[in-house]
Amino acid sequence: MITIVPNDFLYLGPLAVLTIVGLLLILAEAFAIGKRRRFLMQLTVAGSVMAIFAAIYTWRSIEPGTQISAFSGMLIADRMSMFLCALFAGSTGLIAMLGAAHQREYDWQVGEFYGLMLLAAAGMCMIAMAGDLITIFIGIETMSLAVYVMTAARRRSRRGSEGAMKYFLMGAFASGFLVYGMALLYGATGSTNLQTIRSVLATSQSSSLTVAAIFMLIVAFGFKIAAIPFHMWAPDAYEGAPTPVTAFMAAAVKSAAIAGMIRIFVQALGGAIVPFGQVGWSSIFAIIAAITMTVGNIAALRQDNIKRMLAYSSVAHAGVLLVGLVAAGIAPEGEGLASVLFYLLAYSVATVGAFGVVVWIGNRDRERVLLSDWYGLAAAKPAAAMVMTLFMLSFAGIPPTGGFFAKFFLFKSALMAQDQALLWLVIVGVLNSMISIFYYLKVVMAMYFRDATGEFKPLNSGAVTFVLVLCGILVLQMGMMPTSWLGYLGV
């Protein structure tokens, strides 16, 4: 009955690398008191790069379209999970580079920051590879606990503590919903294995128990991706957290939650096997998606703090991602899944880049997080203004950036699903993209058409510059050659 075979360990590559380097970093921090701390960041980046290579290696060893189950079904290795692992490791590495400069400038050198970040990334990989409800729960908890701590890492900031407290309380509450939902799902199907759940639900008439379980799971994941009406924590936590941590929350944590939703909703409960309106759980998510996009965008219009604005914008992006999930859920054979993954990639790169500029622009005396602080950036620092414009265009979905194709593929897959049942949702989504252009261009206007209020003294850090340049190139590359990426995403 021992079902562990040595081959199972081959698929642990990225997860193992991230965990081991994370543990090393926690140890290293203990011995680094009073010494130079730069090597912590370098080790983090090295670990992330190794994890990316491990993910690519494993990705190549898996045939497209196959799912390999490891550790008696606890993990699933497929191309999608390896792509997501690489995405998580990549954003972690880039954000570590932002973090080092930010820590030095604002003097919050918490050494655990890097170790926790890598362990959080390991948790995300667990979610992406999950084949069982238990794995998903453990992954989400690993990730969430680490991110709560990172949010509070800048301990002298009261806003940081407030945001972390809100995030923690809401997150703990959401975890309760998650466990309850999983327990009910187990009660309904008699298994925690996602594939077994799927086959049980497909053959039996699903009960109200399943519906109650899905209800709970929707609430839990709604909290994690900050979909409305479960978004209350997001603006405060995003604003209060140190900017690199905000980038981590917006890019990596949100992507990981989406990965968990793909595993549970699309792959285990996908199709029409669950009663819930006309198209299963998708009908609830369709409504949440529409509300999330609309309210998120309208709330973002009124913000004059860049971090808060990006927080609401990320709420709106969660809505768009839900549209893709709904499409993938009701038409599993379509391109919904690939389009969601491409959207995650484009969104993560632009998010890391945009928050990178927010890190870059401020200094100890003036953090420059208000929109009025950005007046006249283009005249003083044209290159920075240009990359920020690129990221804003990508968020808004304007060519030639990756964001355009991401939205295009996603809405296309939603339109193709089930005789255009989602036509209204796509129309809402496109209208919302137009609304969002307003506030993204407000940033561009501030940079290009206003006069500066004081001299810009940005952070002088090679790592931050590297991140900005890399993200800028990637955004353009995805906008010009999207098909090459879609090839990698063939799930």
Partner 1 sequence: MSNLPISRKCLMWLGALALGLLVVFGLEPSVALAAAEHAADSTAHTFTSKVAGDGGAGKGAAFAFWSFALCAVGGSLFVITRRNMVTAVMGMVGTFFAIAGLYLMLYASFLAVMQVLVYAGAIMVLFVFVIMILNRPVDEPWAVQGILGKAIAALGVLYLFKRLAGILWQVKDTHALVLAKDKLDVEVVLNHSDPELLKDLGVLSIRGLKHADVCKSLFAVCRDNTLNHTVADTVKNAYEFGSVEGVGYTLFSKYLFPFEAVSIVLLVAVVGAIAIARPDKNEPEGEAAKEAS
Q: In the complex, which residues of this chain contact partner 1 (CB under 8 A)?
A: 1-4, 19, 23, 26, 70-72, 74-75, 110, 112, 115-116, 119-120, 122-123, 126, 132, 134-135, 138-139, 141-142, 145-146, 148-149, 152-153, 155-159, 207-209, 211-212, 215, 229
Q: Report, in Å, the least distance between residue 319 CB and partner 1.
A: 18
Residue nearer to partner 1 on the CB measure, 153 or 422: 153
Go through 477-488 and write b for each residue having 16 or more CB atoms within 10 A of its CB, e for each that does not.
bbbeebeebbeb
SS3 per residue for 51-113: HHHHHHHHHHHCCCCCCEEECCCCEEECHHHHHHHHHHHHHHHHHHHHHHHHHHHHCCCCCHH
**Rounded Cα distance, 228 and 217, in Å:** 15
Query: What tokens were used for 365?
Result: 């005396």
**Rounded Cα distance, 252 and 462, in Å:** 23
Q: Report, in Å, the least distance between residue 273 CB and partner 1.
A: 17
Q: Report, in Å, the least distance between residue 75 CB and partner 1.
A: 6
Residue nearer to partner 1 on the CB measure, 53 or 173: 173
Question: 10 Å Cβ neighbour count for 476?
Answer: 16
Residue nearer to partner 1 on the CB measure, 268 or 331: 268
Residue nearer to partner 1 on the CB measure, 60 or 158: 158
**Residue 193 in 3-state DSSP?**
strand
Residue nearer to partner 1 on the CB measure, 4 or 431: 4
Q: Report, in Å, the least distance between residue 371 CB and partner 1.
A: 20
Residue nearer to partner 1 on the CB measure, 12 or 86: 12
Give burial (CB, 10 Å; 0-12/13-18/19+) of 362.
buried
Residue nearer to partner 1 on the CB measure, 283 or 477: 283
Q: Report, in Å, the least distance between residue 256 CB and partner 1.
A: 14
Inter-residue contact 77 to 62 (CB < 8 Å): yes
**Rounded Cα distance, 28 and 471, in Å:** 29
Q: Report, in Å, the least distance between residue 137 CB and partner 1.
A: 9
Cis bond leading into 229, ω under 30°? yes
Q: Report, in Å, the least distance between residue 84 CB and partner 1.
A: 17
DSSP state of 10: G
Residue nearer to partner 1 on the CB measure, 121 or 354: 121
Q: Report, in Å, the least distance between residue 172 CB and partner 1.
A: 12
**Rounded Cα distance, 112 and 269, in Å:** 38
Reported residue count of the chain is 491
**Residue 139 in 3-state DSSP?**
helix
Q: Report, in Å, the least distance between residue 123 CB and partner 1.
A: 7
Residue nearer to partner 1 on the CB measure, 150 or 273: 150
Residue nearer to partner 1 on the CB measure, 132 or 335: 132
Cis bond leading into 244, ω under 30°? no
Question: 10 Å Cβ neighbour count for 196?
Answer: 16
Helix axes 423-449, 282-301, angle to 10 degrees: 20
Residue with tokens 């509070």, as numbered in its chain = 152
**Rounded Cα distance, 417 and 423, in Å:** 9
Q: Report, in Å, the least distance between residue 224 CB and partner 1.
A: 16
The DSSP-derived string for 339-391 is HHHHHHHHHHHHHHHHHHHHHHH--SS----BGGGGTTHHHH-HHHHHHHHHH
Residue nearer to partner 1 on the CB measure, 10 or 209: 209
Q: Report, in Å, the least distance between residue 315 CB and partner 1.
A: 17
Residue nearer to partner 1 on the CB measure, 78 or 335: 78
Spacing of C-alpha 22 from chain mean position: 20
Q: Report, in Å, the least distance between residue 150 CB and partner 1.
A: 8
Q: Report, in Å, the least distance between residue 480 CB and partner 1.
A: 40
Residue nearer to partner 1 on the CB measure, 111 or 458: 111
Query: What tokens were used for 283?
Result: 């009908």
**Rounded Cα distance, 334 and 416, in Å:** 8
